[in-house]
Amino acid sequence: MNRVSSRALRLHAPAVVVGLVTLAGPAASAAEKSRPAETQNMRLVGADDLQARSAYQPVIQQQGSRWIAYIGHHGGSALNPLTGKNEPNGTSILDVTDPAKPRYLHHIPGSAEGTGEAGGAQMSRVCGGLPGADRSKFFLLRTLGNQGQELWDVTDPTRPSLVTTVLSKLTSTHKNWWECDTGIAYLVAYKKDEGWRSRGVKIFDLSDPAKPRFIRDYGLVGAEPGSKGEPPQPLHGPIRLGNRVYFGYGTAGSGTLQIVDRDKLIKGDPNARDPFAPTVENILYAQIGRLDLYPPTGAHTAFPLLGMDISEFARSGKGQRADFVAIVNESTQNECREFRQMVFFVDITKESRPFSVSNFQVLDASGDFCARGGRFGAHSSNESFTPIYYKRILFITYFNAGVRAVDVRDPYRPKEIGYYIPAITEHTDKRCVPATGGGEACKVAIQTNNVEVDERGYIYIVDRANTGMHILELTGDARKVANFPQ
């Protein structure tokens, strides 16, 4: 039997065995028995219920000899047993040094304004060793509902302290990115009265978290103040790699991939009178490529896969190496009442002319997912570049279909090699659709929301429907695809 904490065992029903021996737990409730864990080539190591809070973004940070998980939550509230108080959902902090025994350390309350994505503190990023601060310190950058962006000192994760509020009185926030090597932060934020017509990014120098320095606003052409016509979809999130920033706009429709030269973005055009003015010319100066996606398709996550060696083309005269971006759409409707949202692999070898070459999806028939309740479809990928997985395996969350491990060594033919769908627990919330004749029809459903991996190779998934966090590892043939140290 796997070594799992007693608390984790209480969270899980006996698992369905699909191609390997997996975790077995104690007697389960009737609801759990109706939907136990399902798994192939993935094993549950540990779990925590996260105080039954709806969870969004997990971030895993090594702090000295410890591994700490920071989990951002959607709006709502729950009892914090550590304080005995009911607290607005915010940020959960856990010690996952021993992944079989995750230990809940602290909860930082979030915004009580609004529910779902309008409240809570859904987005977390953590940096240590910042160049403008005490390099022994660690800092948490998080959203505060839709209203603000905050910085916390989490050097002692049991006693976080607020450093500063970077932005307040915002209209909207979402998935930030923070460069720990430079301190440059890309804050996805929108303030209605500033003139921009769609949510973009506010770039700050946060190398000294106590002294945030604003650099510029940026977005797509058509969103800048004074522009005409239909504005583009809002920015969902950026990812930086090397001298490129990959911006994904939109979620379930009319999305855009934007590839930007980082140096030009941060420094601006030296020949412009005002290099950071929100003009078409200044936007295009930094933009290298743009791909406007098919109308039903969005770009929740734009994850770069650069320098891919394509074994199939090894004997070809050209094309043995290429660059790609994995574009993950987001399902937003329950029980398949929308276009199917999936993953597209885009060739960006010539960055000014990106084009889609393949896709990955989970088939409804493989688990009768459209009938299970809740959302079914893609949502996000891991965003870590650990060499254990980078350019080999991409983990994709699929809401009621859990997390899928995808072999991406040949982006022209991505292949699923494993999956894990958590068991329903007493905390798992229901999801509803309009019922024929009025009212609602509701089902309790797993809603695996976001995923991350750490440098040790553990996989962390969190649930939108209050089921908590699950820590996984690969097994069987899937583990052989990864690049674990010998």
Is the pLDDT confidence value at 66 over 90?
yes
Please list, in sequence order, all residues whose beta carbon lies within 8 angstroms of the beta carbon of residue 404, skipping any fewer than 6 positions away.
360, 362, 395, 396, 397, 398, 416, 418, 419
Closest CA to 300 of 362, 252, 241, 351: 252
In the prediction, which pLDDT does 5 show? 41
- What residues pair up with 121 in beta bridges, in sequence order? 73
In the prediction, which pLDDT does 34 show? 64
Tell me whether residue 173 is in a domain.
Answer: yes
In the prediction, which pLDDT does 115 show? 84
Is the pLDDT confidence value at 24 over 60?
no
Closest CA to 319 of 291, 352, 347: 347
What are the pLDDT digits (tens) for 44-57?
999 999 999 999 99
In the prediction, which pLDDT does 116 show? 85
Decide: helix, strand or coil at residue 19. coil
In the prediction, which pLDDT does 114 show? 82
Is the pLDDT confidence value at 1 over 90?
no
Vertex 73 angle, CA 430 and 418, to 5°: 70
In the prediction, which pLDDT does 26 show? 35
In the prediction, which pLDDT does 157 show? 98
What residue type is assigned to position 148 of the chain? Answer: G
Judge contact between 86 and 36, C-beta under 8 A: no
* Residue 7 binned pLDDT confidence (cut-offs 50, 70, 90): very low
CA distance 62 to 92: 16
Is the pLDDT confidence value at 40 over 80?
yes
CA distance 246 to 258: 6
Tell me whether residue 374 is in a domain.
Answer: yes
Judge contact between 423 and 377, C-beta under 8 A: no
Q: Tokens at residue 388, please?
A: 């254990």
In the prediction, which pLDDT does 395 show? 99
CA-derived radius of gyration, the chain: 22
Decide: helix, strand or coil at residue 449. strand
Exposure pattern of 140-157 as b/e (b: 16+ CB <10 Å)?
bbbbbbbbbbbbbbbbeb
Tell me whether residue 192 is in a domain.
Answer: yes
Which residue in the block uniquely carries the two structure tokens 């929301």? 449
Exposure pattern of 209-219 as b/e (b: 16+ CB <10 Å)?
beebeebbbbb
In the prediction, which pLDDT does 33 show? 45
What are the pLDDT digits (tens) for 232-271?
999 999 999 999 999 999 988 899 999 999 999 999 999 9
Decide: helix, strand or coil at residue 368. coil
The average confidence (pLDDT) of the chain is 93
Average pLDDT of span 313-335: 97
CA distance 274 to 29: 64
What are the pLDDT digits (tens) for 386-438?
999 999 999 999 999 999 999 999 999 999 999 999 999 999 999 999 999 99
Distance of CA 59 to the CA centre of its chain: 9
What are the pLDDT digits (tens) for 463-474?
999 999 999 999
Please list, in sequence order, all residues whose beta carbon lies within 8 angstroms of the beta carbon of residue 53, skipping any fewer than 6 positions away.
73, 74, 76, 78, 89, 92, 466
Query: The dihedral of CA 221, 224, 229, 234: what is its sign?
Result: positive
CB atoms < 10 A from the CB of 440, how many? 10
Closest CA to 165 of 138, 183, 179, 147: 147
Vertex 73 angle, CA 242 and 295, to 5°: 60
Q: How many domains does the chain have?
A: 1
State how beta strands 430-434 and 415-421 pair: unpaired
State how beta strands 16-17 and 38-40 pair: parallel
DSSP of 81-105, one letter per residue? TTTTEEEES-EEEEE-SSTTS-EEE
Which domain covers residue 326, as residue numbers? 6-481
* Residue 486 binned pLDDT confidence (cut-offs 50, 70, 90): confident
Tell me whether residue 1 is in a domain.
Answer: no
In the prediction, which pLDDT does 80 show? 98
Is the pLDDT confidence value at 455 over 80?
yes
What are the pLDDT digits (tens) for 177-204?
999 999 999 999 999 989 999 999 999 9
Decide: helix, strand or coil at residue 200. strand
Closest CA to 291 of 345, 243, 340: 345
- What's the pTM value of the predicted model, to 2 decimals? 0.93
CATH of the domain at 11: 2.130.10.10
Q: Tokens at residue 52, please?
A: 């039954």
CA distance 267 to 218: 12
Average pLDDT of span 291-318: 96
Percent of the chain scored above 90 by pLDDT? 90
Tell me whether residue 486 is in a domain.
Answer: no
Judge contact between 116 and 75, C-beta under 8 A: yes
Judge contact between 139 and 154, C-beta under 8 A: yes
Decide: helix, strand or coil at residue 280. helix
In the prediction, which pLDDT does 19 show? 36
Q: Tokens at residue 434, please?
A: 């309009």
User: Count of residues for the chain?
Assistant: 486
Tell me whether residue 122 is in a domain.
Answer: yes
Is the pLDDT confidence value at 309 over 70?
yes
Average pLDDT of span 442-447: 98
State how beta strands 430-434 and 184-190 pair: unpaired
Is the pLDDT confidence value at 372 over 90?
yes
Tally DSSP H helices, then E strands, for the chain: 5, 35
CA distance 368 to 436: 21
Tell me whether residue 287 is in a domain.
Answer: yes
Tell me whether residue 428 is in a domain.
Answer: yes
Average pLDDT of span 341-345: 97
CA distance 122 to 171: 15
